[in-house]
Structure 1
């Protein structure tokens, strides 16, 4: 992999990048068992690139909910081709998902926020909890300018929901800095981003956004609440409510 020091970046983005590498090394030293839950979105691809470049022992995995876009799942192969790394793909409990569908239908998440959160719980939260069990820390690619619920995002926090330390190393990055670094390092990214999807989740729960809309407006677009989280980052909602 080319030395990132040869890549031309805006001075502030270069500072962010160097700080990110230092921060990841510190996290890895403090938590040799740390895991990175990648959504395979552009921010997460940047974070994965940093982990792979530094050859850190941070395990990378992704949650395949069974409803992802083919373009999103295709990023697993792109990572293998570019970095020679096999990302662990975690699946939900099939029996639990089948029982939910049998009871409520395949698209019950459109009927109520409660049923949508139940679906997210089965397809995302339970698999994440299972994967993180026994580990001391996990990382995410969240950053503060993604949404209102993430505007008070801490770089490091104790995650009481999953019972371990949580790190958001990109917390103070802007979307512009993320894209600058991704393009400068020629990092592969989900092609849906070029089709108007700044935030990408499950296929039936995500649409492209219109000009001027919030970046997460395409997530669960039929819901009126601005607090759109699936349960993976429950602390974000509490931070917003206390602000």
Structure 2
């Protein structure tokens, strides 16, 4: 490990310790992808009092679902899973079709709202802060990302400890600590979401190009990170809104 990465690791550990000390109830929202596995290791390997949950949308890749067992085997920890409300899923499929999210941004966001945003709100109902694995480098929707911010819609604190980390630094960490990673990464999936809404990226594309690839670059958020969407809406040229 280089001295530069070692310094970042030490700062990350100190930041996570500070978050846990400042907030009695705080959770990491894990997608089970690389950044969140880095944070999972940083939390569980040192016994930091930050809970970890995941949104099991019902449409995840089998490889992603398999990560629950890998975390259990490695760390002895059961990631808490939040599922969408069955009635809401059934109504969406009945009214629009199983894969209606391909038809419009509105229908895609409706699906994300049911399968991701509503379960997230339940997951965060009783906490005063949450942690994410977002990085500024990931996409145009995250270039203004702050390490600490206020989640206004939920009125809680939000932390992005990896905001200034590069993709190379993330992978150097994962290799240095032999952290289990989602097999999809080796197949060209740097960002991993629901199976029908995620594809492998092509050379030269940004890391989130495979998410909702049929949409324009500035709509590629699902509603979990509403601050990002607000920033893009304010700063994008009118032709992109």
TM range (shorter): over 0.9
2:67 to 75, 78, 96: 75
Matched ranges for 1:129-140 at <5 A: 129-140=121-132
Identify the range of structure 1 (232-241 vs 183-192) with the bigger mean alpha-carbon deviation: 232-241
Query: For residues 101-140 of structure 1, what are the alpha-carbon distances to aligned partners after superposition, in whole Å with 9 as ceiling and x for unaligned?
Result: 1000000000000000000000000000011112100000
1:219 to 211, 226, 231: 211
Whether 2:6 is the aligned partner of 1:14: answer yes
Q: Tell me, which stretches of 5 or more residues in structure 2 are unaligned?
A: 236-241
Aligned residue pairs: how many?
235
Tell me if structure 2 keeps the 8 A contact 1:151–1:240. no
Displacement of 1:226 after TM fit?
2.9
Identify the range of structure 1 (218-227 vs 171-180) with the bigger mean alpha-carbon deviation: 218-227
2:55 to 63, 68, 92: 63
Tell me if structure 1 keeps the 8 A contact 2:146–2:160. yes
SS at match of 1:78: helix
Query: For residues 9-37 of structure 1, what are the alpha-carbon distances to aligned partners after superposition, in whole Å with 9 as ceiling and x for unaligned?
Result: 11111111000000000000001210111
| CA-based RMSD | 1.0
SS at match of 2:40: helix
The TM-score, its normalising length taken from structure 1, stands at 0.94
The TM-score, its normalising length taken from structure 2, stands at 0.95
Give the whole-Å Cα distance in 2 for the aligned partners of 1:100 and 1:21: 42
1:171 to 146, 149, 163: 163
1:124 to 113, 116, 119: 116
Give the whole-Å Cα distance in 2 for the aligned partners of 1:134 and 1:60: 14
Query: For residues 62-100 of structure 1, what are the alpha-carbon distances to aligned partners after superposition, in whole Å with 9 as ceiling and x for unaligned?
Result: 000000000001111000000011110110101111111
List, as ranges, runs of 4+ consecutive aligned residues in structure 1 with deviation greater than 3 Å: 240-243
Distance 1:138 1:104, change over 3 A: same
SS at match of 2:149: strand
